[in-house]
Amino acid sequence: MLKIIKMLHVFLLLSFTICAPSIIAAPSKGEVVKKEKTPRVKKKSNKQQKASSQQKTALAELPVPKGHAEVVMVTNFGKIRLDLFKDKDPETVNNFLEYVKAGYYNNTIFHRIVDGFLIQGGGYDIHFNEKTPLFPPIKNNSRNGFKNLVGTIVMARKQSDANSATSQFFINLSNNSYLDSSTTEEGYTVFGKVLSGMEIIQKIARIKIGQREGMYHVPFYPEEAIIKEAFLVE
């Protein structure tokens, strides 16, 4: 019964996406119908906190592999480092990098936030004005060997057109395997992953959301979901 309810919720969200063509997005995931009780989390000791901090520092300094590209997004919560698979999917990565180099993502927002599913950006400025893409849509390359796993960055597109991706992207907050390609359908193209800053992304995912001009899952306070700057690390 719970599975049927979830499927119905997904259908309703997908129907909204189809009816609102201005939203270039992956299909929404059904929200949790019933929350389980959250277990009490023991407070970390000073030693554990220090070790965790050292691990984060080491990860933040970890270089990207040879042949990849690195992009840093500066948000109001902190920096997110992205490792882009340029050696495996140059067309998709180069498209994203052209937008980065043009300063297109500066002062934009994560305009679609679904905690436990994804956060999506690259389409609206801080005043919620939809931005016009700078370049033509690119070919879908969802069969490049990468999966929609937690922490991956993915090209958003129109659900009805696999080859419609331009500037918008999303970051997976869970393993969303149903967004992968199948034998009969194209999926959503994964072209990189978060190298460090998942704790920043989780903070963004937990901000207050609401509805705006027919759009759901938008930040109630856009200033809490700002991409101040995105730049390529040379």
Query: Which 3-state string (H, E, C) describes 161-226?
Result: CCCCECCCEEEECCCCHHHCCCCCCCCCCEEEEEEECHHHHHHHHCCCEEEECCEEEEECCHHHHE
For the stretch 14-72, pLDDT in tens is 333 333 333 334 333 332 222 333 344 455 566 655 555 544 444 456 777 888 999 99
Q: Who has greater pLDDT, 231 or 55?
A: 231
Q: Quick one: pLDDT at residue 214?
A: 86
Residue 218 near residue 121 (C-beta atoms within 8 A): no
pLDDT of 46 reads: 63
Average pLDDT over residues 164-189: 96
Q: Give the model confidence (pLDDT) of 60-105 as tens digits.
A: 567 778 889 999 999 999 999 999 999 999 999 999 999 999 999 9
- Does the predicted model carry a pTM greater than 0.75? yes
The pLDDT, as a whole number, for residue 48 is 55
User: What pLDDT is stored for residue 6 in this prediction?
Assistant: 42
- What is the average pLDDT value for the chain, to the nearest integer? 82
Q: Alpha-carbon torsion 154, 157, 86, 233, what sign? A: negative
Give the C-alpha distances (Å, rounded to integers) separating 3 from 35, 36, 77, 115.
15, 16, 36, 19
In terms of Cα–Cα distance, which of 151, 153, 29 is closest to 85? 153
Residue 43: partners with Cβ closer than 8 Å, 6 or more residues away: none
Q: Are 148 and 170 in contact (CB under 8 A)?
A: no
Q: What was the pLDDT predicted at 110?
A: 98
Whether residue 157 is predicted with pLDDT greater than 70 in this model: the reply is yes
* Cβ neighbourhood burial of 63 (10 Å; 0-12, 13-18, 19+): exposed
Residue-range domains of the chain with CATH: 2-30+56-233 (2.40.100.10)
Q: What is the pLDDT of residue 42?
A: 55
Higher pLDDT, residue 160 or 21: 160
Contact 158, 21 (CB under 8 A): yes
pLDDT at position 225 over 60: yes
Is-contact 68 88, C-beta < 8 A? no
